[in-house]
């Protein structure tokens, strides 16, 4: 019973449950089975298990939480009718990046984000974010289901990255009128509902590639928001992916620099 409570209360279990809920609602509303999502989850999970068995030499079975989540993210953002080859490439890049592209023993880039960027660019596909769009109506008001991801974000201890990111996004887009926001209840609600909660609460704050300290999370979240805004303003393709990967790299280099200072100080 204790093990069950621990499983249900873990960050990974909550994240998987919420991501699958979003995907289920979105696919139901679209009336289509998301084959790309299933392929992505299976590919990332199997690859994660294979790496653990033959590369890391683990003999005991461990559920591939990280691979499952990466697959869910890839399948939730890539087009639902994407070629299987595109999904497999995204999965392969995502899993490989965790074990190949490392600095000081830690992987640098958000796996799913790197996999998506490489694959969507290679196959000339767009980032659809189809599972991040479900809106339900409660008491006559629109409610974005992606807002529920704040629970997983809280459990990961990353709210000081995601909330400042969202706040900076609101200020940048509203103040510069890059996005027109009608100052009516409906207009403000529509603007709020369209905020990138999925990106902020799941991708931006991936535990292994984002800061842990609150001050560093704050800087990280705002910096990525500014970069996303600049890239979108410059009409750069895949602005969210590019901005996050740049933030991952900058943070990894900073973390390495701090590590060297610590060693030198000893």
Q: What is the pLDDT along the chain (266 residues), one digit of tens a residue?
A: 444 344 445 788 999 999 999 999 999 888 888 889 999 999 999 999 999 888 877 878 889 999 999 999 999 999 999 999 999 999 999 999 998 998 877 889 999 999 999 999 999 999 999 999 877 776 666 788 899 999 999 999 999 999 999 999 989 988 887 666 666 555 566 677 788 999 999 999 998 899 999 999 999 999 999 999 999 999 999 999 999 999 999 999 999 888 777 744 33
| pLDDT in the model for residue 186 | 59
| pLDDT in the model for residue 188 | 63
| pLDDT in the model for residue 139 | 65
If phi > 0 it is left, if psi is from -120 to 50 it is alpha, else beta; for residue 57 that is left
| pLDDT in the model for residue 183 | 63
Closest to 153 measured CA to CA, from 203, 196, 95, 112: 203
| pLDDT in the model for residue 193 | 76
CA dihedral angle for residue 194, residue 195, residue 199, residue 205, rounded to 10 degrees: -160
Say how far apart CA 33 and CA 48 lie, in whole Å: 24
Secondary structure of 238-254 in HEC code, one letter for each residue: CHHHHHHHHHHHHHHHH
Say how far apart CA 214 and CA 195 lie, in whole Å: 22
2 burial via Cβ count (<10 Å: 0-12, 13-18, 19+): exposed
Query: Which DSSP letter does residue 80 get?
Result: T
């Amino acid at each position: 019973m204790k093990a069950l409570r621990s499983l249900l209360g873990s960050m990974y279990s909550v994240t998987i449950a919420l991501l699958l809920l979003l995907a289920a609602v979105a696919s139901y509303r679209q009336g289509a089975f998301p084959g790309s999502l299933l392929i992505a989850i299976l590919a990332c999970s199997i690859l994660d298990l294979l790496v653990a068995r033959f590369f890391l030499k683990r003999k005991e079975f461990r559920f591939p939480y990280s691979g499952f989540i990466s697959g869910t993210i890839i399948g939730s953002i890539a087009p639902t009718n994407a070629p299987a080859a595109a999904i497999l490439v995204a999965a392969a890049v995502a899993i490989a990046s965790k074990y190949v592209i490392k600095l000081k023993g830690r992987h640098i880039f958000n796996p799913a984000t790197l996999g998506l960027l490489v694959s969507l660019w290679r196959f000339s596909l767009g980032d659809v974010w189809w599972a991040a769009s479900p809106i339900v109506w409660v008491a006559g008001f629109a409610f974005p289901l992606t807002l529920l991801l704040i629970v997983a974000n809280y459990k990961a201890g990353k709210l000081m990255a995601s909330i400042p990111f969202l706040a900076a996004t609101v200020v940048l887009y509203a103040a510069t009128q890059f996005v027109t926001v009608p100052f009516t209840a409906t207009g403000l609600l529509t603007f709020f509902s369209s905020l990138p909660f999925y990106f902020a609460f799941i991708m931006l704050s991936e535990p292994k590639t984002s800061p842990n300290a609150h001050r560093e999370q704050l800087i990280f979240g705002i910096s990525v928001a500014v970069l996303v805004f600049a890239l979108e303003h410059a009409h750069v393709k895949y602005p969210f992916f590019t901005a996050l990967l740049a933030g991952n790299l900058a943070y990894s280099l900073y973390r390495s620099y701090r590590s060297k200072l610590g060693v030198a100080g000893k």
